[in-house]
């Protein structure tokens, strides 16, 4: 930076503490950055640091106010914004639009659509030979045609997050129910896509990427459906160890990323794998949720949030160390609505590497409305997939026992 501070606009709705590591080291240090922050008004208490030049709090989801606040920052004090940073999935498109409007470098809205809008990403990848599901922008006619062709389909919000709003349509009656529910909720079906349901196991590949080339990648297997939150069932995800499955996943991941030669940063790529083929599900240009960030850090020493910030700043992405031999996994534990009566923090062990507790004793917990709304998320490590899974089961038993009012003491 040649000693000059750059003016950076950060748009955020998850909290400014995500822009530093667990030791408090800032991803946007004050000696190199003047940070103009637009954040969720409920997260203003996290806006601390010598690098902060100005802070505006707005209600989450108010796009017009977000743009107005960004333009205010751009003209404030004679220091125009030079970069726009956002690490939350729901703000990637807004960041792209702001870069276009402000004329600053970084991913454009058109580029971001390729890893944010589910129809656009399948359009572009299918044209380049990637195996994608049979799909269409949602209409009643398109859904009926796909049901007739495949028997089982799924409707997804084109720009949805955390598996919220997904509907499984196994016939015309399910489709009629989905349309009625959408009308009752005031949701327009054209915000959805519909696609064949793929028989296979859901995996994800998380990568640090430079110009479409993965510098390091790990893969994980979802044991439960990502919609398990709907019936309050725990969700487990376990890293994939060396072998043929990992090789297939990483090879497919490289082929997909090659279709994004402009992209540098972090990707979260989901695929279906069966005995015959790997089928694309979706890709995001941001870190994965749950315990993916601490798990990736445990194996490579790299914080995925930091890599995303570096990419938006236009800085070179360093090559992480190859993933370590140990494996990691995480569990999401959901709670029924009501007042929390017991602490959900598990006891310290040498194999629990991260715990995120969403509620404190006495808090009133709402029913989860998305995959990410777990009462507790615990990340563990182990020598094998079996050991990681066993440790996740121990954690889940302990926390669910506490939620039921038991002692939660499982040794």
Q: Which residues contact 271 (CB under 8 A, 6 or more apart)?
A: 202, 203, 204, 205, 249, 252, 253, 278, 279, 280, 281
Per-residue pLDDT of 127-179, as tens digits, reads: 999 999 999 999 999 999 999 999 999 999 999 888 888 999 999 999 999 99
Give domain limits for the chain.
6-113, 134-196, 201-403
The answer on pLDDT for 76 being more than 70 is: no
What would the mean pLDDT of 364-391 be, rounded to a whole number?
A: 97
The share of the chain scoring above pLDDT 70, in percent, equals 97
The answer on pLDDT for 282 being more than 80 is: yes
Instruction: Return the SS3 of 45.
Output: helix
The answer on pLDDT for 21 being more than 80 is: yes
Q: Which pLDDT score is estimated for 77?
A: 62
CATH number for the domain formed by residue range(s) 201-403 = 3.30.470.20
CATH 3.30.420.40 fits 6-113, yes or no: no
Closest CA to 272 of 283, 281, 261, 259: 281
Cβ atoms of 389 and 329 closer than 8 Å: yes
Q: Provide the b/e sequence for 165-186 (b: ≥16 CB within 10 Å).
A: bbbebeeeebbeebbeebeeee
Q: Which pLDDT score is estimated for 75?
A: 72
What phi and psi, each to the nearest 5 degrees, are found at residue 61? 90, -5
The answer on pLDDT for 408 being more than 70 is: no
- Mean pLDDT over the full length of the chain: 94
CATH number for the domain formed by residue range(s) 134-196 = 3.30.1490.20
Instruction: Enter the tokens of residue 18.
Output: 């995500």
Q: Which residue has the higher pLDDT, 407 or 138?
A: 138
Predicted TM-score (pTM) of this structure: 0.94
Q: Which pLDDT score is estimated for 22?
A: 87
Per-residue pLDDT of 288-339, as tens digits, reads: 999 999 999 999 999 999 999 999 999 999 999 999 999 999 999 999 999 9
Per-residue pLDDT of 201-257, as tens digits, reads: 999 999 999 999 999 999 999 999 999 999 999 999 999 999 999 999 999 999 999
The answer on pLDDT for 411 being more than 50 is: no
What phi and psi, each to the nearest 5 degrees, are found at residue 360? -105, 160
Q: Which pLDDT score is estimated for 186?
A: 85
């Amino acid at each position: 930076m040649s000693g000059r501070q750059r003016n950076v606009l950060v748009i955020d709705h998850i909290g400014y503490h995500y822009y530093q590591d667990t030791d408090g080291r800032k991803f946007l240090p004050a000696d190199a950055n003047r940070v103009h922050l637009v954040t969720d008004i409920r997260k203003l208490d996290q806006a601390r640091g010598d690098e902060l030049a100005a802070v505006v709090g707005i209600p989450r989801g108010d796009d017009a106010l977000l743009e107005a606040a960004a333009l205010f920052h751009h003209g404030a004090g004679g220091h125009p914004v030079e970069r726009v940073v956002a690490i939350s999935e729901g703000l990637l498109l807004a960041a792209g639009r702001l870069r276009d409007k402000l004329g600053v470098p970084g991913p454009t809205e058109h580029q971001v659509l390729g890893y944010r809008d589910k129809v656009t990403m399948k359009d572009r990848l299918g044209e380049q030979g990637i195996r994608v599901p049979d799909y269409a922008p949602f209409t009643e006619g398109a859904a009926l045609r796909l049901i007739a062709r495949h028997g089982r389909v799924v409707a997804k919000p084109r720009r949805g997050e955390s598996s919220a709003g997904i509907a499984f349509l196994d016939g015309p009656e399910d489709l009629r129910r989905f349309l009625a529910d959408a009308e009752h909720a005031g949701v327009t079906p054209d915000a959805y896509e519909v696609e064949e349901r793929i028989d296979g196991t859901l995996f994800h590949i998380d990568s640090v990427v430079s110009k479409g080339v993965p510098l390091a990648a790990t893969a994980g297997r979802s044991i439960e459906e990502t919609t398990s939150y709907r019936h309050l069932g725990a969700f487990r995800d376990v890293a994939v160890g060396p072998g043929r499955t990992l090789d297939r996943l990483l090879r497919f991941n490289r082929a997909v990323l090659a279709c994004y030669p402009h992209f540098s940063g972090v990707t979260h790529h989901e695929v279906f794998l069966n005995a015959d083929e790997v089928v694309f599900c979706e890709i995001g240009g941001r870190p994965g949720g749950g315990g993916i960030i601490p798990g990736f850090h445990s194996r490579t020493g790299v914080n995925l949030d930091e890599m995303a910030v570096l990419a938006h700043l236009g800085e070179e992405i360093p090559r992480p160390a190859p993933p370590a031999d140990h494996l990691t996994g995480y569990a999401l534990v959901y709670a029924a609505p009501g007042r929390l009566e017991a602490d959900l923090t598990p006891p310290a062990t040498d194999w629990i590497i991260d715990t995120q507790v969403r509620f404190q004793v006495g808090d009133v917990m709402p029913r989860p409305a998305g995959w990410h709304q777990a009462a507790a998320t615990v990340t563990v490590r182990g020598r094998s997939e079996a050991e990681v899974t066993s440790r996740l089961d121990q954690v889940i038993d302990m926390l669910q026992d506490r939620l039921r009012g038991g002692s939660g003491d499982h040794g």
